[in-house]
Structure 1
Amino acid sequence: MRYLVWFSRVFVGVLFIISGLIKLNDPVGFSFKLEEYFSQGVLDLPFLMPLALGISIFVVILEVVLGVFLLLGFKPRFTVWSLLLMIVFFTFLTFYSAYFNKVTDCGCFGDAIKLTPWESFTKDIILLVFVLILFKGQRFIKPLFQTRTSWILAGITVLACAIFANHVLNHLPSVDFRPYKIGANIQEGMSVPEDAPKPIYEYAWQFKVNGEDKVVVTNGEYPSVDGEFVGVETTEIQKGYEPPIHDFTIEQNGEDLSAQLLEEDKLVMVIAYDLAKSNQEVFEDVAVVTKKAASNGYKVIGMSASSIDRANAIREEHDLDFDFYFTDETALKTIVRSNPAILVLERGTIQQKVHYNDIDKLKL
């Protein structure tokens, strides 16, 4: 039991630290995932949606801290109870998502490692087993250092997490795991290789044969049945290849102009997924830098999921000398974790990406 507890201690501690740090690198992205869980179509807790970012930061810092506490053997009773309550909650959440097909990606490891709902649930079941081992063998969890040293290391962990969270919130994630990272080409991200796996469908053909219902299942071919055809139900049993970027458009008046605009040699995108939630004061700086970009030969466009009326109002209020195009809100949230933000592209390749606090660092 002693060795089993030691293995569980290291395994659970390291996994919680890795999972927490990945999400701590992008707490805004994790807050978007929490908003999805809190939405009416999932847990129906809309009153928690405005608190999603605060909850996100608390949860990811707690994950890292509990992982460190476990490895140090510091406050074992508190640590093990906290781990148990957290993993029970996460196991329920991932099972609910998987069984009812509510949230297709739990966000357990941010954008670094994508897990299907059932993979997430399986991962949590395995973790739950190891946490239960720790719970049963608490007496074998001995501190690595004296109490004073453990308190110092615990304090350093909390302080370091808080400083890092503040940095990424006021700038951008230190490591970008998304398909829109600097150096990525958007057109290439949307392309599908010729040899990519195709989706596989199952077809349930319904017939009336001698007055009775008959169902024949095939993978596509029409069955030879001597009866009256009633209908067919199609089920995707195996997903095909999905390109990293699959929901990106730049629309105006219902027309997708992304292919044309992504061929621009010098393109500046001002991205604001929701103009009502944008930092309004920053648009004064946006106006200055975009006029400079236009004078240097850049094509400047705005991209938002907000209405045309709101976009026009923002343009007039802040003297913005460019047009806004419509893009899906989820895509814009994925592109950059800032509202607003600015991207610089060269023929579809992202050259620069800055948070609104770093607009002065743009090189035009």
Structure 2
Amino acid sequence: MENKCLHRALVVGVNVCRFLLAAVFIFSGFVKANDPFGTAYKIQDYLEAWGLLQVVPQFVPYVGSMAMGAFEFTLGVYLLFGIHRKATSTLLLLVMAFMTPLTLWLAIDNPIADCGCFGDAIILTNWETFGKNIVLLLAAITVFRYRKTYIRKLVTEKVDWLIALYTVVFIIVFSIYCVRELPVFDFRPYHIGMNIRQGMEIPEGVKLTTYETTFIYAKDGKEQEFTIDNFPSDSTWTFVEAQTRVKEKGYEPPTHDFHLTSQEDGTDLTEEILNDDNYTFLLISPNLRHADESGMDLFNEVYDYCSEYGYSFLCVTASSDEDIAMWQDNTGAEYPFAIMDEITLKTIIRSNPGLLLLKDGTILNKWSVNNIPDEYQLNAPLDQLPIGRLEPPNTWHKIILVFGWFFGPLIFLTLCDLGWLEWSKKKKKKESRS
């Protein structure tokens, strides 16, 4: 009786670890595939912290981002269904054996505020991430230890190859779609329906984040750190750099970094844009030098449309005056330009360039460079068009669609495969009788 109870406890415990790991890796891989650019930016942060950003080719973070999403999602699905148990459990253990000490270093040294494990869907502190990885490492060790005895397949040998192959194809296609269009699920503060002005407001009585700025000065070949309170009075000290750190974490408005400055004369345009009760199109490009110019004719058409109906149109970028001038020469752009922080622009839209539609500070719509509205869609004033109206959130509709696209074809292909096997059996029996 005691052995039976122990056996049952082991079966339950091992499979709890199995499904926990599967759920975490499926979710982690999916959110990375949903937002490949966001993951690529996080990889760039890691490379910068290690001093490798200038050494590694520019395409590596983007390829690595898609590979990470596909790898994690595939491992999670394989573990869920019990496919390739030996290889899956081994790879999971190796991943956790690498990630756990890495997140310990992040927690102690804090070179990056957020590890980016779950993208923008769930933000964890570095210590929370390390704690999470300790649990997952113990779960991975348990699954690896008992992979042969207590990990059972949820599918038969006849269809496991089909699930294995389709999982890889699905997540790669989904990731490519999100690169070409925009993330299916937008977890960032600048999502459709967000009122930027309200997102910048600070509730009364909340404790704000406090920062501490330190100044590095050098003298006689030695560097020393100073604060504003013990600033060096000796003029022989030479300024090296200033560093700002979070002294105490507090409340930060979701859209605290939305600030627009006119490129022409330096005027602050933030309030003008956010308080405009008419429509405003913002052409967003963090870096014009590396922007995709394939949709420039459509952008120019949108600008002409705005001129006709009296809507505002701005190109918002973090590029230099030289790059802006080059862009104007290459594209024939006649619209005005405004300057904003590059990180903020990358957060607003995952496309370079992309298009944003605002009204009274609310984001009504977003388009990547690959689906800019054309003259057939912009054939009347915006208040008469579907794209000029804020649609209700359709998150559950998207979730059902994604589940449908994964399980629908998978079930269909599985039934086809089983039907083929059954037909082959009957055919062999018929041939053997004759």
What CA distance in whole angstroms lies between the structure 1 residues aligned with 2:358 and 2:97? 45
What CA distance in whole angstroms lies between the structure 2 residues aligned with 1:230 and 1:114? 36
Structure 1 pair 235–350 and aligned structure 2 pair: CA distance change class (3 A): closer
- Structure 2 residue aligned with 1:132, among 132, 141, 164? 141
Does the 8 Å contact 1:291/1:321 carry over to 2? no
What CA distance in whole angstroms lies between the structure 2 residues aligned with 1:294 and 1:9? 59
TM-score by length of 2: 0.73
- Structure 1 residue aligned with 2:81, among 55, 72, 75? 72
- Structure 2 equivalent of residue 214 of structure 1: none
Does the 8 Å contact 2:279/2:358 carry over to 1? yes
What CA distance in whole angstroms lies between the structure 2 residues aligned with 1:78 and 1:17? 17
- Structure 1 equivalent of residue 310 of structure 2: 297
Structure 1 pair 308–173 and aligned structure 2 pair: CA distance change class (3 A): same
The Cα shift of 1:95 comes to 2.0
Instruction: List aligned pairs for 1:182-261, cutoff 5 A.
Output: 182-199=192-209, 238-252=248-262, 253-261=265-273
The Cα shift of 1:270 comes to 0.4
CA offset digits 1:57-88 (Å, max 9, x no partner): 11111111111111111111100111112122
Does the 8 Å contact 1:38/1:49 carry over to 2? no
The Cα shift of 1:201 comes to 8.8
Structure 1 pair 320–235 and aligned structure 2 pair: CA distance change class (3 A): closer
The gaps in structure 2 that reach 5 residues or longer are 1-9, 213-228, 232-243, 383-434
Does the 8 Å contact 1:42/1:102 carry over to 2? no
- How many residues were matched structurally? 335
The Cα shift of 1:199 comes to 4.4
What CA distance in whole angstroms lies between the structure 2 residues aligned with 1:289 and 1:47? 37
Does the 8 Å contact 1:104/1:116 carry over to 2? yes
- Structure 2 residue aligned with 1:4, among 8, 13, 16? 13
- Structure 2 equivalent of residue 113 of structure 1: 122
What CA distance in whole angstroms lies between the structure 2 residues aligned with 1:94 and 1:353? 35
CA offset digits 1:224-268 (Å, max 9, x no partner): xxxxx979xx99663121111122211134443211222222211
Amino acid at match of 1:97: L
Amino acid at match of 1:141: I
- Structure 2 residue aligned with 1:169, among 179, 193, 202? 179
Amino acid at match of 2:285: A
User: Which is higher, the Rg of structure 1 or of structure 2?
Assistant: 2
Amino acid at match of 2:165: G
What CA distance in whole angstroms lies between the structure 1 residues aligned with 2:26 and 2:139? 15
1:28 matches 2:40: no
Instruction: List aligned pairs for 1:8-87, cutoff 5 A.
Output: 8-39=17-48, 41-42=49-50, 44=52, 46-47=55-56, 49-87=58-96
349-358 vs 147-156, which deviates more?
A: 147-156
SS of the counterpart of 1:285? helix
The Cα shift of 1:28 comes to 1.2
174-183 vs 253-262, which deviates more?
A: 253-262
The Cα shift of 1:107 comes to 1.2
CA offset digits 1:26-84 (Å, max 9, x no partner): 11111111111112x33535415431111111111111111111111111110011111
The gaps in structure 1 that reach 5 residues or longer are 203-228
What CA distance in whole angstroms lies between the structure 2 residues aligned with 1:42 and 1:248? 29
- Structure 2 equivalent of residue 267 of structure 1: 280
1:90 matches 2:102: no
SS of the counterpart of 1:141? coil
CA offset digits 1:174-233 (Å, max 9, x no partner): 11111111111111111111122244799xxxxxxxxxxxxxxxxxxxxxxxxxx979xx
The Cα shift of 1:297 comes to 1.1
The Cα shift of 1:97 comes to 2.0
